[in-house]
Amino acid sequence: MAKNPFRERGFKSYREESARKDAIYEQKKGKLFRFFLTDKDEDDVEIRFLNDEPILFYEHSVNEGGKFLNVTCTGDDCPYCEGGNKAAYKGAFLIVDTREFEMDERDAKGDKTGKKKKVKDRLKILARGTKDLAKLDRINTKYGLKARPYAVTRIGSGNTTSYEFDRMDKDPITSKQIEKFLSTLPEKYKGMDVFEVIEANLFGMEEEEKSPVKRGNKGTRRRSEEEDEIEDVDSDVIEVEDTKPKTVKKKLNIVKKKK
Ligand SMILES: [Zn+2]
């Protein structure tokens, strides 16, 4: 949590606070939705894992005007660590949420048309704390996260929330299917594999590294597609994690893809 602003004096603090808010907005822009279940969600929500090894990271839950936002811990010099907000250790997967959603339709300029459209099979980021990661590790070893769809149910509430993953019939996801799912992502994710998409969502984009070859094509990026992926307000509310990392000052421990 940031320091209480009432104890600060002068414009410097104000500017720092504005910069911090801008940074949060920048970080959220163009990101995929997080997958999470609320009390209102039906049980047994079917998902498909696109990776079976998680990307590991530390994350802060930041209260911004009553809404909780996920902010990836930057390790050294992280303002939230300095402010005393404890980061939770998490592992992230790219998953397909097979539920049908209704969302705002947007025109070519990215403005809302006022109409709704229905979407299904959306790619989302599933990020879970140590308790659920232990479960997923075991399930993956026994049944394979990519070998079949899973039905997810939320158990408990508040800081005792955990997810149950019930295996469904064996139906391994093929690399062709994964490619097809990845092709539904906004332009900025083009050419990325599953791990790179997750990393771009958690740690930000490194565009210069991504596309040194087709520099001339940058202008074709379609703004409207990216805007669709901005998390809406409802999705920002996350449950309180039950994980309490022992050391927060530790450097980010990111598991990289095996080459
Ligand atoms: Zn931090």
Is 110 in a helix, a strand, or coil?
coil
What integer pLDDT is reported at residue 27 of this predicted model? 60
pLDDT at 4: 58
Please give the average pLDDT of every successive group of 10 residues along the chain, which has 259 residues.
Answer: 60 77 67 87 91 97 86 92 95 96 81 88 96 97 98 88 96 97 92 96 61 36 35 36 39 45
Contacts of residue 5, Cβ cutoff 8 Å, sequence gap at least 6: 13, 17
**If you search the block for the tokens 């910069």, which residue do you land on?**
19
* Secondary structure element (H or E) that encloses residue 177, with its range: helix 175-182
Q: How far is the CA of 247 from the centre of ligand 1 (A)?
A: 11
Residue-level pLDDT at 72:
94
| Rounded distance from Cα 124 to ligand 1 centre (Å) | 23
- pTM of the prediction? 0.69
Q: Which residue has the tokens 């907000």?
A: 85
Residue 212: per-residue pLDDT: 35
- Using alpha carbons, select from 232, 200, 208 the residue that is nearest to residue 119: 232
Q: What distance in angstroms lies between residue 248's CA and the mean position of ligand 1's atoms?
A: 7
Tell me the chain's radius of gyration from C-alpha atoms. Answer: 19
